[in-house]
């Protein structure tokens, strides 16, 4: 890594994949079995033989694969303490070792009586290590392929998160009260500065749900200034662990959508209903807003949503889910994130 | 030769109370150099139309993005008044509208509004002629939600979803709803273009609402036994003739 980094070279350091992520596990299983099938097919001469060879390979492969995944899952927190190079060496050696142990433990299962020799044991261990190495290369390339997207989505997110419409209208509203209610104008400017600080310092790190909620409330206070009693908000956070972490500025763009597309076009305004709760080991974010009955769908909605979806994918891969229900006169968004906290408990 | 100038009367329309407050403060700052008088304000287009039918304003400051009726539609209806006010649009951020304003040299103010810009706009618009309805239509891709007529000193709105058909007769267009018939001074071609998703042309002089189509009937002319198609609309006994060129409609909607 170069010592001086300009903004343009803000590259992420390489890291090992998160072995506790379902996406990583699933990809590993698929790739390894894919390779096995390829080898089985390449060496066979009939369809039946493909199946037989696959069964043959699986006898050793599946136990090694599953125990490796299990051990990596258990050791995952320890990898965080190693640098990337050390991590790679540990993973590769570990896989080789696991292969060797299972091969030796399997005894007659893998070896015809009298056929045992050092070559086969050594070869299997080395092949195990090599495959582990190849997968690490794959995950590194995948991370690199995604990282420009991360950069781009960061910028795009920044623009989409705070709409110019909101910025200029809010400044105008603050100017509108500055003579009659200077105290409130002060608070509004402070809220705005917090909001923009968060938006501009986006680092990809998770923040506590409390902080995220506080920021969302500051945002809503600003909208309240403009919309007055047209905007009503209900928060439900009964079953929400305070230590839960989530990516910053997930709530605010959703609320901004709800205000811009839902509340603002209604003459009498409406109620935004927000539910945050933890269930099983997942964090649920639910948001409901009324909207004008309409045949035509707004495009702006989709952009902000696509943006959030991409950020969730980058952060959690397959573990975050997202549903949108666009009714005739309402809009409901439901996001599920894995429950994460500082100490890494897995359930709430 | 000096004469005392009457103050400019100004009406403010914006759905956000602080934004209206801001404009009023700036107008009072203006009054040292330019005598102005704020004669009223409204938080939505309907309220503005009602008030402005009663009182005359020289200039109306209109926010573009408002619930139910946007500022451009409001301006189109205000244009039907016998002595229509001059309009200055205000907007915080609206790419499409601003491009259109520049193209048609329409007066607009960007929020947050500066005193200097407001002053310039007021001085300029005072001497300008009111915009024509056709110019106003070109400012937005969105069709109006209402048609409007000036009737007995009031602007009367006809919600577009109530309109069953539009038929051109001489220089007017008849607007037919279930219960009433109105005459508006607009061109059928322009109306067809604006409401292309809602209406379909069945004849050189007639557009019908797609939602109102109940069925089609073949009518035989008495004289030479020639027959032609007619459209039957919901809630109307009248049958509207479909021209030979437009007969494909019978198949598409039948």
Question: What's the pLDDT tens digit per position in B67-86?
Answer: 989 999 999 999 989 889 99
Distance from CA of A302 to the nearest CA of B (A): 18
Specify the pLDDT at position A9: 38
List the single best residue of A192, A267, A270, A298 to mutate versus B (max B Cβ within 10 A). Answer: A267
Decide if A27 is inside a domain: yes
Counting residues of chain B whose pLDDT is more than 70, the rounded percentage is: 96
Average per-residue pLDDT for chain A? 84
Across the range A294-308, mean pLDDT stands at 61
What are the C-alpha distances in Å from A85 to residues A13, A93, A98, B247? 11, 12, 20, 76
Across the range B20-32, mean pLDDT stands at 93
SS (H, E, C) chain A: CCCCCCHHHCCCCCCCCCCCCHHHHHHHHHHHHHHHHHHHHHHCCCHHHHHHHHHHHHHHHHHHHHHHHHHHHHHHHHHCCCCHHHHHHHHHHHHHHHHHHHHHHHHHHCCCCCCCCHHHHHHHHHHHHHHHHHHHHHHHHHHHHHHHHHHHHHHHHHHHHCCHHHHHHHHHHHHHHCCCCHHHHHHHHHHHHHHHHHHHCCCCCCEEHHHHHHHHHHHHHHHHHHHHHHEEEEEECCCCCCCCEECCCCHHHHHHHHHHHHHCCCCCCEEEEEEEEEECCEEEEEEEEECCCCCCCCHHHHHHHHHHHHHHHHHHHHHCEEEEEECCCEEEEEEEEECECCCCCCCC
Spatial contact of B49 and B73, defined as CB atoms under 8 Å apart: no
Average per-residue pLDDT for chain B? 89
Binned at pLDDT 50, 70 and 90, residue A3 comes out as: very low
From the list A165, A180, A266, the residue facing B67 with the nearest CB is A266
Specify the pLDDT at position A270: 95
Decide if A345 is inside a domain: no
CATH number at residue A281: 3.30.565.10
Decide if A1 is inside a domain: no
Of the candidates A257, A246, A263, the one whose C-alpha atom is nearest the C-alpha of residue A212 is A246
Counting residues of chain A whose pLDDT is more than 90, the rounded percentage is: 46
What would the pLDDT profile of B49-62 be if each residue is shown by its tens digit?
Answer: 999 999 999 999 99
Structural domain total, chain A: 2
In this structure, the strands spanning B199-203 and B181-184 are unpaired
Decide if A132 is inside a domain: yes
Counting residues of chain B whose pLDDT is more than 90, the rounded percentage is: 61
Spatial contact of B212 and B226, defined as CB atoms under 8 Å apart: no
From the list B44, B68, B112, the residue facing A172 with the nearest CB is B112
Binned at pLDDT 50, 70 and 90, residue A226 comes out as: very high
Binned at pLDDT 50, 70 and 90, residue A5 comes out as: very low
What burial class does residue A344 get, using C-beta atoms within 10 Å of its C-beta: 0-12 exposed, 13-18 middle, 19+ buried? exposed
Specify the pLDDT at position A148: 66
Q: Which residue of A has its CA nearest to B69?
A: A265
Main-chain phi, psi angles of B46, to 5 degrees = -65, -45
Classify the phi-psi angles of A183: left when phi > 0, otherwise alpha if psi is within -120 to 50, otherwise beta.
Answer: alpha
Return the minimum-mean-pLDDT range out of A164-168, B43-47, B173-177.
Answer: A164-168
Would you call A293 an interface residue with chain B, using a CB distance cutoff of 8 Å? no
Structure tokens that stand for A7 in this block: 């903004």
C-alpha B242/C-alpha A77 separation (Å) is 77
CATH of the structural domain B8-137, one choice from 3.40.50.2300, 3.40.50.970, 3.40.50.300, 3.20.20.70:
3.40.50.2300
Identify whether residues A147 and A169 lie together within a single domain: no
C-alpha A237/C-alpha B94 separation (Å) is 36
Identify whether residues A317 and A169 lie together within a single domain: yes
Specify the pLDDT at position B244: 87
- The last residue of a domain, from among A130, A151, A172: A151
- The last residue of a domain, from among A151, A171, A193: A151
Please tell me the number of Cα atoms within 13 Å of A23 on its side-chain side.
16
Decide if A55 is inside a domain: yes
A172–B19 CB contact, under 8 Å: yes
**Domain chopping of chain B, boundaries:** 8-137, 162-253
SS (H, E, C) B176-229: ECCCCEEEECCCHHHHHHHCCCCEEEEECCEEEEHHHEEEEEEEECCCCCCEEE
Across the range B182-206, mean pLDDT stands at 92
Main-chain phi, psi angles of A75, to 5 degrees = -85, -5
Distance from CA of A292 to the nearest CA of B (A): 9
Q: Is pLDDT at B42 greater than 90 in this prediction? A: yes
Specify the pLDDT at position B164: 95
A180–B21 CB contact, under 8 Å: yes
Specify the pLDDT at position B201: 94
Identify whether residues A214 and A304 lie together within a single domain: yes
Distance from CA of A161 to the nearest CA of B (A): 15
Exposed e or buried b per residue across A171-198, where buried means at least 16 C-beta atoms within 10 angstroms of its C-beta: bbbbbbbbeebeeebebbeebbeebeeb
Indicate whether this complex's ipTM tops 0.90: no
Residues of chain B with Cβ-Cβ distance to A226 below 8 Å are: 16, 18-19
Compare A317 and A179 and report the one with higher pLDDT: A179
Q: Which residue of B has its CA nearest to A170?
A: B112
B19–A173 CB contact, under 8 Å: yes
Specify the pLDDT at position A2: 40
Across the range A272-292, mean pLDDT stands at 93
Specify the pLDDT at position A8: 39
Return the minimum-mean-pLDDT range out of A116-120, A169-173, B79-83, B136-140.
Answer: A116-120
Across the range A38-59, mean pLDDT stands at 90
Identify whether residues A206 and A311 lie together within a single domain: yes
Distance from CA of B70 to the nearest CA of A (A): 9
Q: Is pLDDT at A295 greater than 70 in this prediction? A: no
A264–B92 CB contact, under 8 Å: no
Q: What is the pTM of this model?
A: 0.73
Compare A117 and B231 and report the one with higher pLDDT: B231
Structure tokens that stand for A84 in this block: 């990337």
Across the range A227-256, mean pLDDT stands at 91
Identify whether residues A47 and A183 lie together within a single domain: no
Specify the pLDDT at position B1: 45
Identify whether residues A193 and A249 lie together within a single domain: yes
Would you call A97 an interface residue with chain B, using a CB distance cutoff of 8 Å? no
Specify the pLDDT at position A302: 63
Identify whether residues A252 and A271 lie together within a single domain: yes
B17–A228 CB contact, under 8 Å: yes
Sheet with B86-91, side-by-side order of all strands: B36-42, B8-13, B59-63, B86-91, B108-110
CATH, range B162-253: 2.40.50.1020
Instruction: Compute the count of residue pairs across chains A and B with CB atoms less than 8 Å apart.
Output: 65
Would you call A317 an interface residue with chain B, using a CB distance cutoff of 8 Å? no
A179–B17 CB contact, under 8 Å: no
Compare B13 and B220 and report the one with higher pLDDT: B13
Spatial contact of A257 and A221, defined as CB atoms under 8 Å apart: no
Main-chain phi, psi angles of B62, to 5 degrees = -125, 125
Spatial contact of B131 and B85, defined as CB atoms under 8 Å apart: no
Decide if A346 is inside a domain: no
What would the pLDDT profile of A86-100 be if each residue is shown by its tens digit?
Answer: 899 999 999 999 998
Binned at pLDDT 50, 70 and 90, residue A10 comes out as: very low
Identify whether residues A96 and A167 lie together within a single domain: no
- The last residue of a domain, from among A129, A151, A173: A151
Spatial contact of B28 and B118, defined as CB atoms under 8 Å apart: no
Binned at pLDDT 50, 70 and 90, residue A205 comes out as: confident
Within 8 A by CB and 6+ apart from A55, the residues are none
B112–A227 CB contact, under 8 Å: no
Residues of chain A with Cβ-Cβ distance to B20 below 8 Å are: 176
Specify the pLDDT at position A348: 66
Would you call B28 an interface residue with chain A, using a CB distance cutoff of 8 Å? no
From the list A171, A226, A266, the residue facing B16 with the nearest CB is A226
What are the C-alpha distances in Å from A172 to residues A34, A59, A98, B23, B37? 60, 71, 66, 10, 22
Binned at pLDDT 50, 70 and 90, residue A199 comes out as: confident
B25–A228 CB contact, under 8 Å: no
Identify whether residues A84 and A142 lie together within a single domain: yes
Across the range A207-217, mean pLDDT stands at 92
From the list A169, A228, A292, the residue facing B111 with the nearest CB is A169
Compare B5 and A49 and report the one with higher pLDDT: A49
Identify whether residues A28 and A89 lie together within a single domain: yes
Spatial contact of B209 and B165, defined as CB atoms under 8 Å apart: yes
- Asked whether the bond before A83 is cis by omega within 30 degrees of 0, the reply is no
Q: Is pLDDT at A59 greater than 70 in this prediction? A: yes
Give the structural domain span for A180. Answer: 162-338
List the single best residue of B18, B29, B115 to mutate versus A (max A Cβ within 10 A). Answer: B18
Provide the 3-class DSSP secondary structure of residue B51.
Answer: helix
What would the pLDDT profile of A104-163 be if each residue is shown by its tens digit?
Answer: 888 777 776 666 677 888 888 899 999 999 999 998 888 877 776 666 665 555 555 678
């Amino acid at each position: 890594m170069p010592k001086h980094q300009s903004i343009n070279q803000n590259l992420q350091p390489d890291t090992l994949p998160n072995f506790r992520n379902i996406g990583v596990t699933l990809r590993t299983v698929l790739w390894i079995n894919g390779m096995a099938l390829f080898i089985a097919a390449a060496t066979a001469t009939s369809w039946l033989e493909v199946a037989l060879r696959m069964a043959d390979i699986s006898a050793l492969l599946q136990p090694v694969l599953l125990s490796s995944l299990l051990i990596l899952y258990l050791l995952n927190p320890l990898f965080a303490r190693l640098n990337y190079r050390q991590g790679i060496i540990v993973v590769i050696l570990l896989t080789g070792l696991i292969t060797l142990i299972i091969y030796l433990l399997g005894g007659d299962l893998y070896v015809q009586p009298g056929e045992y020799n050092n070559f086969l044991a050594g070869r299997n261990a080395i092949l195990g290590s090599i495959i582990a190495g190849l997968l690490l290369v794959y995950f590194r390339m995948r991370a690199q392929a995604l990282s420009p997207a991360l950069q781009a989505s960061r910028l795009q997110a920044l623009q989409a998160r705070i709409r110019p419409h909101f910025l200029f209208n809010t400044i105008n509203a603050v100017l509108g009260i500055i003579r009659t209610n200077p105290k409130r104008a002060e608070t509004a400017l402070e809220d705005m500065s917090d909001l923009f600080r968060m938006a501009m310092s986006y680092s990809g790190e998770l923040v506590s749900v409390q902080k995220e909620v506080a920021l969302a409330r500051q945002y809503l206070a600003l909208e309240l200034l403009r919309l007055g009693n047209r905007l009503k908000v209900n928060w439900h956070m009964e079953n929400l662990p305070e230590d839960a972490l989530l990516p910053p500025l997930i709530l605010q763009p959703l609320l901004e959508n709800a205000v811009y597309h839902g509340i603002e076009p209604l003459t009498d305004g409406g109620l935004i209903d927000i539910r945050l709760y933890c269930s099983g080991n997942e964090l649920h974010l639910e948001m409901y807003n009324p909207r004008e009955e309409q045949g035509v769908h707004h495009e702006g909605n989709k952009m902000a949503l696509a943006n959030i979806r991409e950020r969730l994918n980058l952060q959690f891969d397959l573990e975050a889910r997202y549903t949108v229900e666009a009714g005739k006169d309402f809009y409901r968004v439901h996001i599920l994130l894995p429950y994460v906290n500082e100490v890494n408990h897995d359930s709430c | 030769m000096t004469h005392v100038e009457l103050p400019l009367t100004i009406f403010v329309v914006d759905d956000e109370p602080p934004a209206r407050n801001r404009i009023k403060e700036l107008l009072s700052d203006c009054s040292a150099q330019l005598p102005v008088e704020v004669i009223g304000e409204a938080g939505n287009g309907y309220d503005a139309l009602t008030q402005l039918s009663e009182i005359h304003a020289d200039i109306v400051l209109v926010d573009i993005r408002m619930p139910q009726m946007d500022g451009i539609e409001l301006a189109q209806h205000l244009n039907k008044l016998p002595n229509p006010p001059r309009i200055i649009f205000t907007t915080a951020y609206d790419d499409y509208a601003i491009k259109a304003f520049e193209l048609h040299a329409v007066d607009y103010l960007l929020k947050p509004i500066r005193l200097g810009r407001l002053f310039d706009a007021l001085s300029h618009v005072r001497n300008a002629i009111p915009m024509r309805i056709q110019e106003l239509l070109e400012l937005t891709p969105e069709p109006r939600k209402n048609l409007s007529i000036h009737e007995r000193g009031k602007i009367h709105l006809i919600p577009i979803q109530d309109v069953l058909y539009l038929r051109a007769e001489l220089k007017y267009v008849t607007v037919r709803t279930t219960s009433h018939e109105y005459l508006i001074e607009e061109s059928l071609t322009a109306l067809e273009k604006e409401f292309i998703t809602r209406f379909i042309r069945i004849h050189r002089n007639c557009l019908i609402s797609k939602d109102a189509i109940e069925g089609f009937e073949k009518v035989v002319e008495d004289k030479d036994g020639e027959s032609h198609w007619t459209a039957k609309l919901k809630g109307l006994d009248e049958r509207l003739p479909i021209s030979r060129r437009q007969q494909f409609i019978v198949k598409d909607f039948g």
